[in-house]
Each structure stands twice: as structure tokens, then as C-alpha cells.
Chain A
């Protein structure tokens, strides 16, 4: 089992979907149990993976750095003189994916619990939700870009329907906007993958084919390619194996992405364009300014559980893609563009915080605050220091927990009154004390109060960014300094909301039925308290996660610096 644990983790929900097919009738109660059980199992597996993971230093993107590696040839396609297209079923886990897997298991479980009260076409809902539970971990574990793209794209389908069918009033608009936006990103990413495919070769797999000639090594093949002997050979194997792609030797020297390529488009090399395409593709997903406008709409219209998943993990795939694919494959370009990337990060932090300040819809405010917090990830990446990059990963992890909690909380209120407008409430604390306590915890967590996970992430990003600015001048010094204003702005909009909605004498807008304003039920409390507990746990004891992923992040930085 241990050798296929990752496959089991990914495809477990498929069993759940199968199970759903055998349940008869419209009784939503049995469906929801399937989702909860399956995600609970996934969570258990992830926790096992997490505890079993040993933090050791290996070179980034080396086969040694991967545990529970699964690699099998999926299919090969002969393309005549172009060589052979080889696609692998290639999974593996390192420190970077470990944190994301743990996060996605937690959030997906929380989302499944939050889907408890879905009654409309429950069977379809849970089936789609379980499909999401396949593609998200798949995305984080796939190390063959073909496989990655498959999972990446496959996420769109359930999301589209989950928003479009179970969403709010403007659900069609939101789901189509979400779909088109992310599809645009996917196309850009796909183009890069195609370019990568034609301009690289996989010497390891070629070895297997020429193994009859004793004495041939990978180095022989690489030398053969570089001396031009092996070029245009129909037995050249192209693959999208991320480990092989991370080695610059495996690029054809005269290929589109090769070192000798002089082809430029609008004055920039193909490599630069590929990096930009990847950057934009993943920034849409993250999202960062100016590619973020799909997010508020998608959030506002999505049902609670989908919002939780969307903010909790889907956004992180954008950041994960940047850290896993864009930076390691195009280190030179990423280093050159660091000024612009830093600018995008700072702009996103401040811009989204400014917009959040004047929102009157609570959910929209939180959506914009999500955008703002994702800006920190970009800033941490731009400086490319170990502290900053670790902070970026920690920010993704912590924001996953915090935004899940925040959206669950909005869902609690919306479930009761079907009204999310901030001005329509006052003094909620006297009517819903337990709810208000958790809202306060969540708000303070999100504004980066020390003792909560968000603080660790943000302070690491700040010191990493500043260190990058001083040591390598990757970004100018003013960027981290100006970005600190984001802390003040987020404190402002959260405290202002707290003051307006929860403090003062209790009153509500006349359209709201006050009798519906009941405090939290026991099951809601259990879910919300445990998420808050996790946020505080990871805030006080960051070692739990950071000691595990630290060596991988350090390896990432040294890999990036060496390649640059």
C-alpha cells in the first residue's frame, strides 16, 4: 500500500462517487455522509503522510527529494521525425507539496462538513464535490506536467457547475466569468507546456531504449544531443517530466528554449515569453492584480462550501504553480523580472485592501482581502530568499485555514438571514455571542495578529523581501516598506467591520427577521472552533510545519540561485 499511497489519496473520492451511484432516492442525508467520510479518509491519509515525512535536505527537483514516488509510463506516441511523446503517470511528494496536501485535505474536509445542508440535487452536488477532491490533490502531487495540466483543467468542470447550479442570484454570470478567466490562464499555460515539450528531451527514458548498447550513460546521450549527433533522431523521447525539465542540459541547445536560440518576439526571447505566459496563467489563478476580478464575483455567488474550497485551496494552486513550475523552469527570467513581480505583489496587497475597505457586502470584503493576502505570496516570491519563499508557502497554508474559517462564518450568517450586507446589522455580539467570538478570532487572524498563523507568514515574507532587497537588490527597498501598509489597511477594514456589525446596540435592517438570528449550533461550533484552534496552533508552533518543509524550501532557494 505504501508504494501507492499517493494514488490512493487522489483516487479515493472516485470510490465515493461510485458509492453515490448506488444510493437510491433523493435523501440528501446519505449523500453528505459519503463526502464527509471520503474527505475524512483523505485527511487521515494526509496526516499520515505529514507525520511520516522526514525533513532532509536534497537537491530541489531531484528524484531523491521525492518520497512515495510513483512513476509509470502512461502512453507513448510516435510523432515520426519529431521523436516520441512520452507521458508518465508520475507522482511524488516533497516539502512543498506536503504542506499543500495537508492544507487541501483540511479544507476539503471542512468544505464537506459545510455542505451538510445542501438539499438541492444533493447527489449531483456531492458527486461534483468529490470530483474536486480528486483533482485538487492530484494537482499538488503530479510531477509530470501533462498529468498536472489534466488535473488542473479537470478542476474547472466541477467548479463551473458547483457555482453555476448551486450558486446565488447571478450564478451563471459568475460561473462563466470564472470559467473564461481561468481558461485563458490554462491556455497560456498549455502553450508553454507545448513549447517545453518540443524543446526538451528526456535522457533518462532514452536510456531505457538504448540500454542494449552497454556502456551508454545519460551523459553520453546529453553529449550526443549537444554535439548535434542525435538531433532529428526519431527515437528522441520528449516528455514533461518536471525533474528532467528542471535540468537545463535537457533542453535542445538550438531549440526554442535552448541556450543558443536567438529568436526574439517583440524584442524578448521565447524563454521570456514563456515565463510571462506561465506567470500570467498562474497569477490569474492566484489571483493578482489586474487579473483578479473573477474572484469577488465567483465568491459572492458560490455556495459556502465552494467558497471555502475556492479561497482555501484553489487560489493556492496559482501560487503553487509559480513556485513549482514557473520559477524553477525559468529561473533566469524570474530573476530578471523580479522588479515587476514585486510591483505586482505590492500593488495587489494594497489595491485589494483599499477595495476591501469600502465593500458593503461582507463576503465581497473577505474576497478582496483574500486577493490582498495572496499579494504577499507574490512579494515573497519576488525576493526569492529562503525566508520569503517559506513565508509565501506558509501564507498559502495559513490563508487557506483563515479564509476557510472566514467564508464558513459568512455562510453561517447568510444561512440564517440571507443577507450579508454590513450596514444591515449592528450589535450582533449581544444576539450571537459565540458567533461573534469566532468572527473576532478570524478577523484578527486575517489581519495578522501575532499568535495566529497569518502573522508568521507575513513577518517571514517581510523579512525575506527586505533581505532580498538588501542582499541581492532583487526588489527595491521601498517595496517591502510600502507593503507594510497592507497590515494597517487590513486592520482598518476588519476593525471597522467589527465596530459596525458587532459592536453597539443591537439592531438590524427591517428586512431581516430577527428570530432567525440564532447563535451557533453545536456542529457549527465544532467545525469553527477546530479551524480556529488550528490557526492558533500554527501561529504559536510554526515549527510543526516549518521544520518539516524547511529543508525543501532551502533547497528551492539554492536551486533557484544556482540556476540563475
Chain B
């Protein structure tokens, strides 16, 4: 079968100076990791955090320089190891696409680092925090730069490891430990598909180099040779991204992952790690042929809707944002599915900034809540307080104006108000979906309808969160008035926290992406950042309809939550369904976990059975040995004893005549002599 597919020689390409720069950027966090991990507690916390942050800053500057100076594509390829004549290569591809992603990743990481300097100060286990972040950043850069699926997979898993370590950062909390394990295992499950994709592509094409694979797949598609190969490989790659990019039904790990520190949630679980899936899918989009793109669209659509619905009923401030992330990833996937790669990547970029900003500003509020709790603790009172619960918040608008401003700007970007980045990118996706529906009709219209509905839902849950956190009065006082004096003392966070908020918030405006505030098609982004994008028709009614959905949803949300007592929630059944993630986890437990333990017990029983069989064999030998012993003692020994006894009997018979009686001896001698004479006479 593989004979039908031509094999292409994989040439080695030395790295040029631009590639060397990219490699330098890649190795910087690795060195940071090694340095900080092994020095551990031996250096001051402030040195540690500023070192890591400084390195990130330099990396960001270098990435920008790289992005500006790059022209065309820079591919470099080396041998990683060889088995005789079989060569395993590793390669790095620099183009607009990867350097843009590098800029995004390093910028958000830099912001998160800055924020963490203050936020993580005096937190327990501080010495591990920055090395783990460095590990994450280097793995993320690895995914971005690598042009070899096997190498990508390595970093893909390392991102999973970093995520595991950071979610379980406060390992003493049982929820953190459980969430870390859950995230890793859900991702690992999806990653099996990645392994399978590598297996398929290697077996069929003899290489995992993406750019070589691209040629080979295009060849085999052209000749209609073996379409099943790219189909199944594409399917497998997509399933791998279902884990990492939190798609239905595996997205349930992401809300739980909020157990990690808030800056981590902003960096990994909103801006970069979850985007890695979409990024990879875009990189390998040549594999997505036949019915696979439709599948991606449908799952993306389901994800977008289900997660948005859950966000509406969640009271955990971070989980609302987590569900929102899942929902937005659904949008990106939908765009990938309809072939609007540029729109997907555009949304990935804008989302990275505003979602990071949202997380960090909500984190600032949570920080303030924690402070109140610890103040109370200092005064000898310890009260269990869920600092993340939006029902206990409210009125932070006046207390923390900068935070509020940053939140509002990125809020506007997320729900897609005009003049904000999200408006442009979401518009691009909706336009692409509409174009597809016009061409293929039928169920595609349903996708468009759901996409628009979810735009409304997004506006609704975000407005709800904004009102609950920033407007109204501080509701914690209703349950416990003793917090009043601490609430009065709340001030805006330190500048180290505010600067990242401001910078990230600024990225929510349109002008960073396109000079035309209403349409991105003419902007530099769609032109430059992603070359393969096809031109999309601009439909003026799409942003209008989307904005109507948005405004309507905002109005409803304002109406509903203006005066609401957030503690009262009437529709409990619905909440229960949402809180249980649509029973997806229960289903997984029922379908997978329980059977696994059943099989485990069965295998254990088999082991016992094998052991019993061996014991039985041993006992059988012992019984045989005993029988042999009996045979030995009674039959063989008996015979020997019998013979011996018989001889002894004869002996004693004769001996009885030899009892020292001289006359007797003489008598015998005489008889013997007589017999001898007789015999002699006879003989003679």
C-alpha cells in the first residue's frame, strides 16, 4: 500500500542567522529553567522573579525583531539521531505565521511574568513557580517553531507536563492535585491520537517532517492514491487537539484547571497552551480533507454553544472565563473546519490578549478578596471564604478603577463590540461560516445560527460577570459585616499588576490589527500574518446582526442582574446539569473508569489463578514426591530389607550352630571331612 506513495528525500538544511536567533530565543527559557530549578531556595525570591521576567522581556523584544526582520520562509533541518541509514530529523520553520505566534506567546508570557512578580510574592512554593513557567514557555516555543510532528509531539507533551505542575502548584489542596491529574490524563488520552497520527504518517510516508508531508499528501491527493491515510491522520491530529484545545467532550478538564494560580490560568489555559491545538491544526491543515473538516466544525459548534451555556450559570469568577475560553476555542475550530485558517488564527491572536487581560483583572479582584481574608486571619478570625465566588463580590468598580477599565476594554473585545479586536476576528469567522453555508447549505445554516446565538450568549454571561463583580454593592458584607473595614481599605493593586493589565487591555483595540475599525480584510494582519488565507467576501449585515445579538443580550443581562440577589437561584435542575458538565464526567466514569477497574480486578484474579495453578503444580510435585518416598520406604527399601533380613535369617540359622561349642565344631568338621572323603572317593 505504501508503495503507491512516492518517497521524497529529506534534505538537511543548516540554520541561517535568522534561525540561529530563533534558536537563541528558544533556548533562553530552558537555561532559565535549569538555573532556577537547581538553585531553588538558595537565591532570593525577588532575584528569581526578576531574572525570569527579564529573560521573558528580552525574549519578547527579540521575537519582535525576528518578526520584523523575517522575509519569506526559513527552514532549517538537522539530524536528531540515526538508526543505520534511517535518519530522524528535527527541523525548524520560521515564517510569518510562526513568528507572529512567537510574538503573541512571548508578549503574553512577559505580561504574566510581570504580573506574577507581585501576585506570587510571598506565596508558598514560590521557588518552583518561575522555573515551571519557563518550562512551559520553552515547550510552547518548541511547538511553534518545530516543523516535525515527532518533535512537536515532544513539546506538546511537555506543555502538558508544565500544565500538570502548575495546576497542581498548590498541591496541598486536594482539588488542585485532582485537577492536575485530570488535566494530564484527559490530555494524555487525546494524545494517544497524536501518537497514532505519527504512526500512520511515518509508516505511510516515511517521515514526520511537516513540510515534506505537505508535498507528499498533496501528491497523493492529486493522484487520489490513498486518501484514507491523510483522512485518518488528520482525524487523529484533530482528536489530539480536542484534548489540548478543550473541545467537546474532553473540555471538562479546563474549568477544573482553574485550581492553579490565576496568572497560570491566564497564560496556559486561556492564551497559549489551549491555543496550541488550534495552532497545530492550522499548521497541518493540509491533512484535513474529505469529511474531517465538517466534523471539526460540528464539534467546534457544539463546544461553543455548550460552554457558553455553562458560563451563564457559573458563579466561580474564573470558571466563567474558562468556559468562555472553551467557547471561543469552539469558534476557532469552526473556522478551521470551514477552511478559514486566517480567521481562526486572527481570533486566536485577539483572544490571547483580551482573555489574558480578563483573567489578570479578575485575578486582581481575587487578590483583593484574598487580602481581606488574610487580614481577618491576622486578627484572629479565620473564616472559610470562597474568594472566587462572584456572589460575594460586587462594587469593585470604584475601588479598583484601573482594573475595571482593563476588564471593560477586554470585555468589549470578547463580546465583539465595534472598535475592539474581537469584533474584527469574530466577524471574520462569522463571515466565513456564512460563506460556507451559502455554498453547502443544509446543516451549515444551523451552524451559522448557533454561532450567532453564541455571540448573544457570550455577551450575556460576560455582562453578568461584569455586573456581579464590579457593579452593585459588595455582597460579602450581607453575610458578614465584619469585612466592612477591610473593604473600605481596598485600593487599586500595585503598579506591577496594573501595567500588564493596561498593556494587554490596549491590545483589545482595533488599531493593532487593522486600521479600518469595522473590517479586518484590509488590515495588515489578514494580509501579512497568514499568507495562505483566501479572500473572503465582506458582508455588511454580519457585523450588524452580530451586534444586534450582542446588544440585545447585554440589555437582557442588565435587566436581569441589575437588582438581583445573586444568592437566589431558582432554576436548580439546569444549574445542576451545567455544574456537572452535562454529566460528561459521570459518563466517562461510567463508560471508562469503572470498566477499567473491573478489568483490573479481573486481571488480578487471573494472576491469582496463574499463581494457584503454579502452586497446584508445586503441590502435585510434593504429592508425587511423597508417594515416591512411600514407594522408596516400603517397596524398594522393603525389598532391600527383605533380602537383608532373609540373609540375616539364614546367617543366624547357621550361626545358631556356632555358639562356641568345641564338640559341635568337632562334629561339623568330622561331617565335612567325611563328606570330602566321600566326594574324593566318588571322584577317583
Chain A residues within CB distance 8 Å of chain B: 57, 177, 180-181, 290, 293, 296, 351, 354-355, 357-358, 386-387, 390, 427, 429-430, 444, 449-451, 455, 459, 462-463, 465-467, 469-471, 480-481, 484-485, 487-489, 491-492, 495-496, 498-499, 502-505, 541-543, 546-547, 550-551, 553-555
5 of the cross-chain contacts (CB-CB < 8 Å) are A358-B600, A444-B161, A469-B203, A491-B188, A541-B81
B561-618: which have CB < 8 Å to A? 596-597, 599-604, 606-607, 610-611, 614, 618
Q: Is B174 an interface residue (CB 8 A)?
A: yes
CA distance A180 to B168 in the complex (A): 46
Q: Which residues of chain B are within 8 angstroms of A430 by Cβ–Cβ distance?
A: 172
User: In the complex, which of the residues A386, A466, A553 has the most CB atoms of chain B within 10 Å of its own CB atom?
Assistant: A466
Given known A-B contacts A357-B597, A466-B199, A387 and B86 have beta carbons under 8 A apart: yes
In the bound complex, do residue B202 and residue A463 qualify as a contact, i.e. CB atoms below 8 Å apart? yes
Given known A-B contacts A355-B603, A498-B181, A503-B168, A484 and B195 have beta carbons under 8 A apart: yes
CA distance A138 to B606 in the complex (A): 36
How many residues on chain B are close to A (CB under 8 Å)?
56
CA distance A390 to B618 in the complex (A): 39
Taking a contact as CB atoms closer than 8 A, the residue among A354, A390, A546, A553 that contacts B599 in the complex is A354
Taking a contact as CB atoms closer than 8 A, the residue among A177, A451, A481, A543 that contacts B196 in the complex is A481
In the bound complex, do residue B157 and residue A449 qualify as a contact, i.e. CB atoms below 8 Å apart? yes
Taking a contact as CB atoms closer than 8 A, the residue among A449, A450, A466 that contacts B200 in the complex is A466
In the bound complex, do residue B81 and residue A542 qualify as a contact, i.e. CB atoms below 8 Å apart? yes
Q: Which residues of chain A are within 8 angstroms of B1 by Cβ–Cβ distance?
A: 470
- Tell me, rounded to whole Å, the shortest Cβ–Cβ distance linking B476 to chain A: 27
Closest residue on chain A to residue B160 by CB atoms: A449
Q: A450-B155, A459-B198, A488-B185 are in contact. List 18 more A-B contacts (CB 8 A).
A: A180-B618, A290-B606, A293-B610, A357-B600, A386-B86, A450-B156, A451-B154, A455-B154, A465-B199, A467-B203, A469-B203, A487-B192, A495-B185, A496-B181, A499-B177, A502-B171, A504-B171, A504-B172
In the bound complex, do residue B196 and residue A546 qualify as a contact, i.e. CB atoms below 8 Å apart? no
Chain B residues within CB distance 8 Å of chain A: 1-2, 79-86, 150, 153-158, 161, 164, 168, 171-172, 174, 176-178, 180-181, 184-185, 188-189, 191-192, 195-196, 198-200, 202-204, 596-597, 599-604, 606-607, 610-611, 614, 618
Given known A-B contacts A293-B614, A470-B204, A550 and B184 have beta carbons under 8 A apart: no
- Tell me, rounded to whole Å, the shortest Cβ–Cβ distance linking A560 to chain B: 14
Taking a contact as CB atoms closer than 8 A, the residue among A290, A296, A386, A502 that contacts B83 in the complex is A386
Closest residue on chain B to residue A389 by CB atoms: B83
- Tell me, rounded to whole Å, the shortest Cβ–Cβ distance linking A283 to chain B: 14
CA distance A329 to B547 in the complex (A): 75
CA distance A296 to B172 in the complex (A): 32
Closest residue on chain A to residue B172 by CB atoms: A505
User: In the complex, which of the residues A357, A503, A550, A551 has the most CB atoms of chain B within 10 Å of its own CB atom?
Assistant: A503
- Tell me, rounded to whole Å, the shortest Cβ–Cβ distance linking B484 to chain A: 33
In the bound complex, do residue A449 and residue B172 qualify as a contact, i.e. CB atoms below 8 Å apart? no
In the bound complex, do residue B83 and residue A387 qualify as a contact, i.e. CB atoms below 8 Å apart? yes
- Tell me, rounded to whole Å, the shortest Cβ–Cβ distance linking B202 to chain A: 4
In the bound complex, do residue A546 and residue B184 qualify as a contact, i.e. CB atoms below 8 Å apart? no
Closest residue on chain A to residue B597 by CB atoms: A358
CA distance A47 to B408 in the complex (A): 64
- Tell me, rounded to whole Å, the shortest Cβ–Cβ distance linking B638 to chain A: 32
CA distance A233 to B577 in the complex (A): 87
Closest residue on chain A to residue B618 by CB atoms: A180
CA distance A429 to B200 in the complex (A): 40
In the bound complex, do residue A542 and residue B80 qualify as a contact, i.e. CB atoms below 8 Å apart? yes
Closest residue on chain B to residue A490 by CB atoms: B188
- Enumerate the 4 nearest inter-chain pairs by beta-carbon distance, A residue then B residue, closest first: A554-B84, A503-B177, A450-B154, A543-B81
Closest residue on chain A to residue B199 by CB atoms: A466
Interface on chain A toward B: helix, strand, loop, or mixed SS? helix
In the bound complex, do residue B603 and residue A354 qualify as a contact, i.e. CB atoms below 8 Å apart? yes
CA distance A470 to B3 in the complex (A): 10
Q: Which residues of chain B are within 8 angstroms of A554 by Cβ–Cβ distance?
A: 83-86
Given known A-B contacts A293-B607, A498-B181, A177 and B614 have beta carbons under 8 A apart: yes
Q: Which residues of chain B are within 8 angstroms of A358 by Cβ–Cβ distance?
A: 597, 600-601, 604
Given known A-B contacts A547-B82, A554-B83, A484 and B196 have beta carbons under 8 A apart: yes
Q: Which residues of chain A are within 8 angstroms of B610 by Cβ–Cβ distance?
A: 290, 293
In the bound complex, do residue B200 and residue A499 qualify as a contact, i.e. CB atoms below 8 Å apart? no
CA distance A469 to B2 in the complex (A): 11
CA distance A390 to B154 in the complex (A): 19
Q: Which residues of chain B are within 8 angstroms of A485 by Cβ–Cβ distance?
A: 192
Closest residue on chain B to residue A466 by CB atoms: B199
In the bound complex, do residue A450 and residue B199 qualify as a contact, i.e. CB atoms below 8 Å apart? no
User: In the complex, which of the residues B82, B191, B203 has the most CB atoms of chain A within 10 Å of its own CB atom?
Assistant: B203
Closest residue on chain A to residue B200 by CB atoms: A466
CA distance A466 to B2 in the complex (A): 12
CA distance A484 to B178 in the complex (A): 24
Closest residue on chain A to residue B84 by CB atoms: A554
Taking a contact as CB atoms closer than 8 A, the residue among A355, A471, A504 that contacts B604 in the complex is A355
CA distance A492 to B188 in the complex (A): 9
CA distance A319 to B80 in the complex (A): 26
In the bound complex, do residue B600 and residue A467 qualify as a contact, i.e. CB atoms below 8 Å apart? no
Taking a contact as CB atoms closer than 8 A, the residue among B82, B188, B601 that contacts A546 in the complex is B82
- Tell me, rounded to whole Å, the shortest Cβ–Cβ distance linking A57 to chain B: 7
Q: Which residues of chain B are within 8 angstroms of A57 by Cβ–Cβ distance?
A: 84
CA distance A444 to B180 in the complex (A): 14
Closest residue on chain A to residue B201 by CB atoms: A463
CA distance A387 to B614 in the complex (A): 37
User: In the complex, which of the residues B83, B199, B204, B618 has the most CB atoms of chain A within 10 Å of its own CB atom?
Assistant: B83
Closest residue on chain B to residue A385 by CB atoms: B203
Q: Which residues of chain B are within 8 angstroms of A484 by Cβ–Cβ distance?
A: 192, 195-196
Taking a contact as CB atoms closer than 8 A, the residue among A296, A489, A495 that contacts B181 in the complex is A495
Q: Which residues of chain B are within 8 angstroms of A354 by Cβ–Cβ distance?
A: 596, 599-600, 602-603
Q: Which residues of chain A are within 8 angstroms of B2 by Cβ–Cβ distance?
A: 470-471
CA distance A504 to B607 in the complex (A): 32
In the bound complex, do residue A462 and residue B600 qualify as a contact, i.e. CB atoms below 8 Å apart? no
In the bound complex, do residue B202 and residue A467 qualify as a contact, i.e. CB atoms below 8 Å apart? yes
CA distance A542 to B150 in the complex (A): 14
CA distance A451 to B597 in the complex (A): 30
CA distance A463 to B189 in the complex (A): 18
- Tell me, rounded to whole Å, the shortest Cβ–Cβ distance linking A480 to chain B: 6
- Tell me, rounded to whole Å, the shortest Cβ–Cβ distance linking A295 to chain B: 11
In the bound complex, do residue B158 and residue A451 qualify as a contact, i.e. CB atoms below 8 Å apart? yes
In the bound complex, do residue B202 and residue A466 qualify as a contact, i.e. CB atoms below 8 Å apart? yes
CA distance A553 to B86 in the complex (A): 11
- Tell me, rounded to whole Å, the shortest Cβ–Cβ distance linking B185 to chain A: 6
Closest residue on chain B to residue A352 by CB atoms: B603
Q: Which residues of chain A are within 8 angstroms of B198 by Cβ–Cβ distance?
A: 459, 462-463
CA distance A491 to B185 in the complex (A): 7
Q: Which residues of chain A are within 8 angstroms of B181 by Cβ–Cβ distance?
A: 495-496, 498-499
Q: Which residues of chain A are within 8 angstroms of B200 by Cβ–Cβ distance?
A: 466
CA distance A427 to B177 in the complex (A): 10
In the bound complex, do residue B600 and residue A355 qualify as a contact, i.e. CB atoms below 8 Å apart? yes
Closest residue on chain B to residue A480 by CB atoms: B199
- Tell me, rounded to whole Å, the shortest Cβ–Cβ distance linking A396 to chain B: 15
Q: Which residues of chain A are within 8 angstroms of B184 by Cβ–Cβ distance?
A: 491, 495
CA distance A180 to B620 in the complex (A): 14
Q: Which residues of chain B are within 8 angstroms of A451 by Cβ–Cβ distance?
A: 154, 157-158
Taking a contact as CB atoms closer than 8 A, the residue among B161, B174, B192 that contacts A449 in the complex is B161
- Tell me, rounded to whole Å, the shortest Cβ–Cβ distance linking A98 to chain B: 14
Q: Which residues of chain A are within 8 angstroms of B189 by Cβ–Cβ distance?
A: 488
Closest residue on chain B to residue A434 by CB atoms: B40
CA distance A471 to B199 in the complex (A): 13
Q: Which residues of chain B are within 8 angstroms of A496 by Cβ–Cβ distance?
A: 181
Given known A-B contacts A355-B607, A470-B2, A550 and B84 have beta carbons under 8 A apart: yes
CA distance A504 to B198 in the complex (A): 37
CA distance A305 to B184 in the complex (A): 32
CA distance A463 to B200 in the complex (A): 8
CA distance A69 to B177 in the complex (A): 55
Closest residue on chain B to residue A358 by CB atoms: B600
Q: Which residues of chain A are within 8 angstroms of B596 by Cβ–Cβ distance?
A: 354, 357, 489, 492
Q: Which residues of chain A are within 8 angstroms of B599 by Cβ–Cβ distance?
A: 354
